[in-house]
Structure 1
């Protein structure tokens, strides 16, 4: 039997909300032919709290789960976070020293500290090393500290570490082609490199939608949905401004439904109150409840901040699965091309509330266009975001 070790610094564990990629992969690997262990951290990045699982929660899994010590942090962008990742890397190094050597290491990146330890261990022990790129570091941090010349110098050590990890991969998986291309800039030995979107399992999504869809919604309201993190990468301010512009034009029945949590939640709440728009902040929801609200919405918005490193992300798959037309401000050409190719939304100018309002009004007025784009959006989900199909590539790569 193959011994497969999945190392995922940022993943969900039993009892936590989410639609985790690595839990899904671990569950789907045939246990007749492989033993599977997922190694992660004691610290939850989402809740900023330490995790404590019961014996029953551990036993509910079809694979072994190991959580290693990490002190944690309060802010996503902070020196304390980098120190916490450093300690997590040390914890992993200690664990690998005493664990039986696996046949395959499937490792997510970020964090860089954890992935570098895994890459080094795999190379020293001649273990097949498969990398799964979830985000680009330091590119994501440069968006927050974007100071010409200084940022490049400041983040050079992080970039060097990322390149070391990318070079070490025998096979590369990434959540977008953009991320694949970044890794291949420095990796010349990789035999295979695949873009596999995060996605969702549509059968499960549809079951959750049926179970949770009975939500009170006034017939005269149009619901605009946002689902995800409330942080620096997401330009909810422009979306709020756009709704304010439409209200001044007499369009008062659009309700902005914001599902999620993050470091800027209170700031967005305050700004929405100042602009006096019709908004609901639900906070972080169980995935099923989020799905139930999402399928009741009429339009989705993807308001990614200027210069953000994100390419294809979780909300893209959920919006598509819900069959929603998308108002998109994201600069990523990969996602903008999908919007155009599938005719499932409208690409808008970034950081431009007037343009956002204009295009939102187009969909508000044209019910037929909303319906057609919604059908196209669901087709995108079936072809590009359905895990039961797209993740077969990952499972085959790990097990063959």
Structure 2
């Protein structure tokens, strides 16, 4: 079977970074004997740089990568970014017809432009396509607006909403990061019933175990080792974490020390904010092996999002849980509920450093319960968030979409 995967923003093998969703799916499909092509652009969203100076193709990990030259941009919210999406969609529309047609296409949403280009291509050739919902554009932007102006935001984004609705009325089926996103897609597809399934953002547990094998376990005594690993940007509320550290530093023997791994535009400002705190350490960017060792050395992790954050289930969840790190999370929705239901962490009020400090003090005071949480964390990661299981299941779902006799998409 010939399968195309289309993504504007995810990593590819030559990036040398942690594999994410489409690399995991490409590996799973190739491992099942399919001919896989991963379409993307030369510009890499995460580094804000072009990978290649011109269109590039190469083979890696058993599948083919096609990177098309499009526009770059420096800011996530900018006209230049939307011009980049439009250009990549235009390039796809030009290049896809030059190849032998696939049996099925999976397209990552966002952006709308590229998925619409895939929908047009597939509708003209009777090829089923699957939409993988990473973020519910454009609704996610409207939800970020103050309540008083959301009605204006909905009015201004109405053309984009109509485009999203047309995509889902034409899609064969839907995959998504969360139940909430599946529900969103089904509402847009209504009244048509669309097959849909959740595949959580998964962690490569086998690779983590291999890389972390030499790390000694964290000491049972001493301050709680709290780990954050990720981007140092505005999306994450590390100000709250640093203020929590300052509060705990005033305790008689701090209850926790904070290990912050990663880099980003907010790093210098955050380091200045944490100046003088002996219980905060910035580790910078870590390669995969160093990151695995850090996670294995921790006692607990923090998933710190700002008040009003719209994320549902994030990659951090299963990366932390796979390392036996209970997760202290500020998200109130699906991810927070999952953590509480499975007994693999705790919640705190977003933006409330005193509440975060209280949660960490409680965990530090009951190491036996923390150990039980760690065991449950690993079991839950193995059952629901292991990359081989998750992307193997997603590959099976894609195979089903390509099977003759399954529901036809609306032209």
Structure 1 length as normaliser, TM-score?
0.91
CA distance change for structure 1 residues 358 and 89 in 2, over 3 Å: closer, same or farther?
same
Residue 168 of structure 2 is aligned to residue 166 of structure 1: yes
Q: Which residue of 1 aligns with 2:405?
A: none
Deviation at 1:19, TM superposition (A): 2.3
Q: Which residue of 1 aligns with 2:393?
A: 393
Q: Which residue of 2 aligns with 1:343?
A: 343
CA distance change for structure 1 residues 264 and 164 in 2, over 3 Å: closer, same or farther?
farther
CA distance change for structure 1 residues 61 and 382 in 2, over 3 Å: closer, same or farther?
closer
Structure 2 length as normaliser, TM-score?
0.88
SS at match of 1:239: helix
CA–CA distance in structure 1, aligned partners of residues 60 and 86 of structure 2? 30
34-43 or 202-211: which moved more? 202-211
136-145 or 175-184: which moved more? 136-145
RMSD of aligned Cα (Å): 2.7
Residue 289 of structure 2 is aligned to residue 296 of structure 1: no
**1:184-223 alignment runs, 5 A limit:** 184-188=186-190, 189-210=192-213, 213=215, 220-223=222-225
Deviation at 1:46, TM superposition (A): 1.0
CA distance change for structure 1 residues 168 and 232 in 2, over 3 Å: closer, same or farther?
farther
Q: Which residue of 1 aligns with 2:10?
A: 11
Q: Which residue of 2 aligns with 1:371?
A: 371
Deviation at 1:136, TM superposition (A): 2.1
Structure 1: 5+ residue stretches without partners: none
Deviation at 1:258, TM superposition (A): 1.7
SS at match of 2:319: helix
Deviation at 1:316, TM superposition (A): 0.2
Q: Which residue of 2 aligns with 1:255?
A: 257
Deviation at 1:190, TM superposition (A): 4.6
243-252 or 35-44: which moved more? 243-252
**1:1-400 alignment runs, 5 A limit:** 2-13=1-12, 14-30=14-30, 33-52=33-52, 58-142=58-142, 145-146=145-146, 147-188=149-190, 189-210=192-213, 213=215, 220-252=222-254, 254-273=256-275, 276=277, 278-332=279-333, 334-400=334-400
CA distance change for structure 1 residues 155 and 364 in 2, over 3 Å: closer, same or farther?
farther
Please tell me whether the aligned partners of residues 6 and 39 of structure 2 are also in contact (alpha carbons under 8 angstroms): yes
Deviation at 1:291, TM superposition (A): 1.6
224-233 or 289-298: which moved more? 224-233
Deviation at 1:215, TM superposition (A): 9.9
Deviation at 1:221, TM superposition (A): 4.4
Please tell me whether the aligned partners of residues 215 and 293 of structure 1 are also in contact (alpha carbons under 8 angstroms): no
Please tell me whether the aligned partners of residues 30 and 62 of structure 2 are also in contact (alpha carbons under 8 angstroms): no
Q: Size of the alignment, in residue pairs?
A: 396
CA distance change for structure 1 residues 57 and 152 in 2, over 3 Å: closer, same or farther?
closer
CA distance change for structure 1 residues 299 and 58 in 2, over 3 Å: closer, same or farther?
same
Please tell me whether the aligned partners of residues 139 and 309 of structure 1 are also in contact (alpha carbons under 8 angstroms): no
Please tell me whether the aligned partners of residues 131 and 169 of structure 1 are also in contact (alpha carbons under 8 angstroms): yes
The superposition leaves residues 18-53 of structure 1 with CA deviations (integer Å, 9 ceiling, x where unpaired) of: 122211211222467531100011011111111039
